[in-house]
Structures are given as C-alpha cells and as structure tokens.
Structure 1
C-alpha cells in the first residue's frame, strides 16, 4: 500500500533584510515571541538610564557633606547637557558599527555590558569614576539604543500589519521603565546613598542582559550579521577614507581654534559651547550639501525644506522638554513642598510623572488621530508640530506662575509640576511620534539614513541647549527664566501654525 507523501514544509518567513524569522508556537500578545525579549531588555535599559538621569543633576549639585560633587548649577547643567546630547550623537556610529561589522544582536549585547559597567563605575566614589561612568554609558547606549529598535522591526515580515502595534507595545516597555525607575532609584539615591542608586541602575541593566541572552532563541536570525555586514561596497573603502580624513581635519581645526583662544574646551561650559557650534555647523553643512550637490529635483528640495523647518521646531521643543531632568528637577528639590503625611518625598519621584502620563494617554491620542482621520479632520504633521510646541510653552507658563508663588523661597504644591508635565506630555505625543515618521516620508529615498542622522542632531542640539538654559537656574529670576522658554516655544508654535498651509503645499501630498 502506497502512502501519500507529506507536503514539504513551508519556507521560513524572512524579514526585510533577509534574516530568517523565528516560528511562533507561543506569541507575545499576538506578536512574535522575540518581542518579549526586546521589550524587557529595553524596559530594563530605560530603567537604568532614566533612574540615573533622575539623580544626575541632584547628585552633581549636592554638597560634599551631602555626598554629592558640590558642582555649581552652571557646571552641572553643562555636564548634564553634554551627556544627554552625546547619547543621541553616539547613536549614529553605533548603528553604523552594527550594520557594517558586528550585527545588531551583538551590538545590543556589547552595549548593554558597557552600560552596566558605566553604572557600576558611578557607584564608586570619586570624580574620575563619575566621568568614566558617564563615558561608558554614552558609548553603550549608542550601541544598544538604535539597534534594539531596528531589531523590533526585523521581527516582522514585509507587509505584516502587526508592525506598528508591535512598536506600540515596545514603547510601553520603555515607559514602564521610565515610570518606575525614578521612584525606586530616586528613593535609594536620595535617602540611602547616591552611589547605591547608581549601582542599582547597573543591576537593572544586568537583569536586562540576563533575560536578553536567555530569550535570544526567540529571535531567530534577526539581528545577526548579514553577508553584506562587514563587506565593503565598491566605494566603501574610499568612503571610509573620506570620513577618516574629515575626522582628522576636524580634530586639527578644533586644536587650532583652542590654541588661538577661539574656543575653550578646558571646562564643561566651554566644551558644551564648542560641541553646540559643531552640531550647528554640521547640520548646516548637511542641509547645504543636500540642496546644492545632492542631485535633488524641485519637489525633493521643497520637502527637504520642510524637514529643515521641522529640525528647527524639534530642537526648540527638546531644549524646553529636557528641562524636566535639570531646572524642573532643581525646582522640585528646592522650591516644592514634598511632605506627604509627615514623609518627605524624594524630588526625583516627580521624574516618573511624564512616563505615567505617556502610558495612560498614548492609547487615547492614537484613538483620537484615527477617529479624526476617519472624519477627514486629522491635523497635518506641521499642525501637530505647532500644537506640540504650544503645549510645551503652556507648561512653562504654569511654571512662571509657580515661580511667582515661590518668590522668596516659599515652597509650593507639587501639583504645579504635575500640571506642567501633563501639558508637556500632550506636546510630546503631538510632536515626537510625528517627527521620525514624517522625516522618513519626506526624505529622498536615497537619503533617508542621512536625514535620520540629521534628526538625531536636532535632538542632540536641543539637549545641549537645555543644559545651557538650566545653567541659569541660580543666576536668573525663575519667572524670567521659565518665561523666556515659554515665549520662545509659544512664538515658534505660532509661527509654525501660520505656516501650516504653505508647508503642506511643499510636502507634496505627504501628511
């Protein structure tokens, strides 16, 4: 009796980069099982990052008697701005190293190990260990952050309708870490020891690494080096030599400028100013080259002009938004009544408010945009950008009122800060998700990676400026400081709102 041959097994599903996707005997909320591995890895990484970040400026400005470094606000804010800006800048070489040499999976693992070492370095007393820890965390985050996000996309085959929802779940993991970390690490750091708080951040990253390695089997081939990774293209060698030459020329130019006294890189404040000038010059050069020698047609140049406008709006937004960890954190410590039934709440606890609001409100905003879209009334990308800036400015108007109420050192209710963070969350949900998506749609197909790099530059620039603004916390009256931030963001939002119609025309049908 002849038996019927069984049909051949179906070919394995493949991601857009050709990697074999893991089979899904047991999914994660209807998504690939590997999403849970990346979800918890990123949750623990954000736990370590935001927990340390909530303590950073408080530790630097605390006196030696309080276990801190005793830095003045100007120096501490410059270091804070340099650190947060560097996190975005290192994402560019971090992605390049993964693409060309070690693959995304190894980049995430190595980056996580370096991050943990950085936190453990900060757990040791001494300024040298502090600076070494910051350097290690910046380096590790540059390897981990861009590549773990790319791996999430790699879990889905082309055309898989679950991709956007998968990123939404992944984003929830980020905000769980953001919400919990300031409470846990903040309590430990402010009530037990700063260094104990930094050490716990390292423990959190180790937890993330353990489950990342344990769950690697669920990732299939996603994130592994592809045949083209590490293989130079025909022009790859010359491109590398050009990049090396430009780097050497840049270092030589900076050395000459330092020798002539044009810049001062011997102090944190001077270094922050120098890096700010470098980012501005680099951004202008990229846009200038793209317009003049990028081979773009008229429509592409108009769209590139819109990206330039969004670039300006982005760095203004982040320069204000990132006051949360600096000037607003100092306001929470010095001028906010944090006593709850006789217990003094750590100032860093308030850093968790934004993450909680994101978790609660992100689904509401997603539902709102879909509902408005069905009615043909969803705001365009420029309109959402302008609304984000206006909401940010409104939050700082609240801080102007709070500062006036705190005149003379009077402590005020924490609800001032909670309301400010609520308005800032509204702004973030209007602007942040729109930015990356719109840039990818507006950029010429052959220059998407380049424009994404420019977008990271806008965020780095915003963080640097945020540090310089926060440096005026002690030298400028707070109503004036917060009032100036409110004025700049509200004017920027108003100008952008007035330009919505012409910008939509320049976008050529892209919303």
Structure 2
C-alpha cells in the first residue's frame, strides 16, 4: 500500500508523478552528453593528425567506439548490483553523474595537453564516463519503475515519456556538439557535451529530495544486521578490487608496457559478454532463491535479452557504418550549406520525440479496449521494422557501388532508414525497460536492469566491429554490411514470432 505522501500518487507532470519530470530532465542532460560525444568519436579518431585527430584506421576507430559503447552498457551490470546491495538507487545516480562530468572534463583537457599526453586524458575520460554511466543508467530507469508501484499501462506510458526525454537530449546534443566539433574544433564539441552533463548533475543534486521524497534512498536489507554488513562489505571489496585492476591495465597501456588491439579485444569481448549473461542467469536459477513464478519470468527476460541484443547490433551501427555512410556517400549540400555528417544522428531522436507521445497514448488506448500486445509481439514488430530500415540502405549502397563511388546519394535514404529503425526502437526499448521492472524479482531489479543494458552492450560491440567496413576505398563491402544486417533482423523476427504464444503463458502471472 502507498501512503498519501508517496511520490507515485501525484500527477503534476502531465498526469504523472513530479519525480518523473526530474528523472526526465536528468536523463535528458546525461543523454545530451553521451550522444553529443559519441558521433564525434569515430570521425575524430579517424581524422588525420593534421586535422586534429588521432589518425587511426577506420576499422580500429570503429572498434574503439564499439568497445566504448559496449563498456558503457556493460558497466550497468555491476552498477545495478552496487545499487541493489550497497549504495541504493539515489546515491548511485548522483555518484554516476559526478564521474561522467569528470570524464568529460578530462576529455576537454586532452585538447590542451599535446598529442601524447592528450591521448591519455582522452581515454581516461572515456573510462570515467563508462564507470559513471554504469552507476547512473540502470538505476535511474529502475527509479522510474518505482514511481509506478501499481504497474500496468500507466507505467508503460511513463517509460515512453521518459524515453522521449532521452531522445530530446540526444537530438539537441548531436546538433550542438556536431556543429561545434565539425565546424569549430573537435574539443569545443567535447566541451559542450560535458557542460550538458554538469547541468544534469546539478539538477538532480538540488531537486531530488523535494521531488522524489525518500524513493530510492535505501536498499532491500537482510533482517540480520550481521548478514547485511557482510553483504555490503563484499560489494565494497569487489568494487575496489575491480577498480584497482582497471587502473593497473590503464597505466600499463598508457606507458606502452602493453599494446591493446581494439579489433582483437572487441572480438574476444563478444564471447565474454554472452558468457556473462548465460552465467548470470545460470547462477540466478541455481542459487538465487527464486520461486517457480520468478524463474518463469526470469526466463522471459533471458529470451528478450537475446533478441534485444540482435536488435541493438543493427540499430547501434548509427555512429559507425551509418555515420561513415553519411560522411562519405551522402549529398549533404542544402542551398549552399554543407550539413555536418553528425547531424544525421539526430534524425532518429527527432522521430522518437515525434512518435513517443503517440505510442504512449496508443498503449493506454489499446489497454482500455482490452487489446494488449505482449512484449515478445512488440519485440518481433520492432525487429521487422528495423529490418526494413536496413533493406532501404541496401538500395542506397548499391547505387553508390554502381557509380564507382562517384555519385552521392540523396539524404532521404538515410532519413527513411532512420524512420523505420525508430519505429522499431519504440517497439523494443521502452517496452523492454518496462518489462524488466515488471518481470524482475524485486531484490534483483537493479541487476536485471543491468542485464537489459548488457544486451545493448553486446549490440554496440558487434555494431562497432562491422561498422568500420564502410570505406570509399572498398566500395563492395558497404552493401554486404547492410544486407547481412537485414537478413539477421528478418530471421530473428520469424523465430521470435513463433515463440510469442509460449512466452505469453510464461508471463501470465506478471503484473
């Protein structure tokens, strides 16, 4: 039962709790910084030294972007665990925001430190952003779920609104940082992304107490204080040990003692990440103390995880293969103004902002008519729509190949592709977030949010490994990248569609 003062009961934010407004704005600024930085990375690292970049070859630069993005979401798994067992949701979010802000500051400093030392500050900044996002990302989503203890369509609508905040930040961030990075200086773009995160940090720090009350301040504790103290001590020990190992590897790589191959690391990480997911679910089923009902619902989460990873492996080619296609093969001249290539990254966010309120209203309207598409049905539709988006790009890539690389194709190819991918995303991402909070056992909700972002991590990694093969000097590779992606998406659609009925039965007890 909720008390009259519970934050979930007010409806001051467009019929939703005020706390959703705060989380909306905090996540908006965090995504402003993340998506503002990300599209610049592959262009910056692949740019020649004379142009202010690092001069990396494209496959290596793309692999680094994939590893970075994969690590951001991979860090959500320990971030959720730390929040569940030690810090609580609110403190985790605040500390995460501080680390992200520090990371952007380090990247900003890299532009003034010279080429050699500058690389150290640059990659240190990426590491800090990874750690901070791991603490912030899963736990702010879990906190949104806590605002709706009653569950139902209203929670789905709340997550759709929250998702619109994510994409508002992404849309504005990519326009601002893209223009500054490509037209003024790479580091002006990086600095603008950091300023956005600072805004989010200050907003959450100043307003959380007033708008969230006590929500997310504590953890689920063991009745025995001695057991609880031991549990928290274990988390602290593993956290400190993990940070120490990470610091050692960073120092060894920075001083040249060891050499890191981004593509080899990315390939190995693919197997490691899938292994982590399998091991986590195996441990949960064997030793997690789950009831039969909780095991069934956790099984559904595992299935959704697998198909979400396939979806993100396609969708997250935006900052790699699609970004490079926009840069190399797209006619970006508009009445004498050359559109920055990074601006095409904001098309997806613009469509999200346009369509999110419609989807939020759609779920509620269908619920009132007792029409309820299950989560796997929505996922299957999302995979199919993303497949259509990459089918469009096959035709665009073949036009470039047929011309021998002399023709720049219309930007409408990319825009239409992003539209279908966006529609697919709206069937997968906010529904997936809501499903995690609905299906996860309460004591594992933070970790289950981490598992959801682990699927995104796997997708980002695969996207980074294949995305660097869009290259003006190897034209025949580009249509192959898009064809393989479309086939994978349509194949996954068929398989998941065949599983909808049994999965619905497994979900029947979830509220």
TM-score (norm 1): 0.83
1:346-396 deviation per Cα after TM superposition (whole angstroms, max 9, x unaligned): 001111111111111122223333444444544322221111111111111
Aligned equivalents of 2:45 and 2:424: distance in 1?
29
On the 8 A contact 2:153/2:367 being kept in 1, the answer is no
Aligned equivalents of 2:427 and 2:447: distance in 1?
24
Aligned to 1:401: 395
Aligned to 1:260: none
**Structure with more contact order per residue of length (Cα contacts < 8 Å, sep ≥ 6):** 2
Change (3 A) 1:452 1:159: closer
When the two chains are superposed, the root-mean-square deviation of aligned CA atoms in Å is 3.5
TM-score (norm 2): 0.83
Aligned to 1:457: 454
Structure with higher helix content: 2
Larger Rg: 1
Aligned to 2:254: none
**Superposition pairs of residues 213-232 of structure 1, within 5 angstroms:** 213-216=205-208, 218-219=210-211, 221-222=213-214, 225-226=217-218
1:279-299 deviation per Cα after TM superposition (whole angstroms, max 9, x unaligned): 122222223344455566766
Aligned to 1:383: 377
Aligned to 2:335: 341
On the 8 A contact 1:81/1:465 being kept in 2, the answer is yes
Aligned to 1:365: 359
Aligned to 1:473: 470
Are 1:311 and 2:308 matched, yes or no?
no
Aligned to 2:100: 115
**Superposition pairs of residues 107-186 of structure 1, within 5 angstroms:** 107-123=92-108, 124-125=110-111, 126-153=118-145, 166-186=158-178
Aligned to 2:73: 88
Are 1:237 and 2:222 matched, yes or no?
no
Of the three residues 314, 317, 323, the one matched with 1:329 is: 323
On the 8 A contact 1:384/1:431 being kept in 2, the answer is yes
Are 1:75 and 2:69 matched, yes or no?
no
**Superposition pairs of residues 200-215 of structure 1, within 5 angstroms:** 200-215=192-207
- The 3-state SS of whatever aligns with 1:499 is helix
Q: CA deviation at 1:177?
A: 0.8
Q: CA deviation at 1:100?
A: 4.5
Of the three residues 425, 429, 437, the one matched with 2:426 is: 429
- The 3-state SS of whatever aligns with 1:84 is helix
Q: CA deviation at 1:343?
A: 0.7
On the 8 A contact 2:311/2:383 being kept in 1, the answer is yes
Aligned residues: 483
Change (3 A) 1:143 1:67: same
- The 3-state SS of whatever aligns with 2:316 is helix
Q: CA deviation at 1:272?
A: 1.7
Aligned equivalents of 1:168 and 1:306: distance in 2?
21
Aligned to 2:115: none
Q: Which runs of 5+ in 2 are unaligned?
A: 112-117, 250-257
Q: CA deviation at 1:217?
A: 5.1
Aligned equivalents of 1:375 and 1:145: distance in 2?
34
Aligned to 1:492: 492
On the 8 A contact 1:190/1:346 being kept in 2, the answer is yes
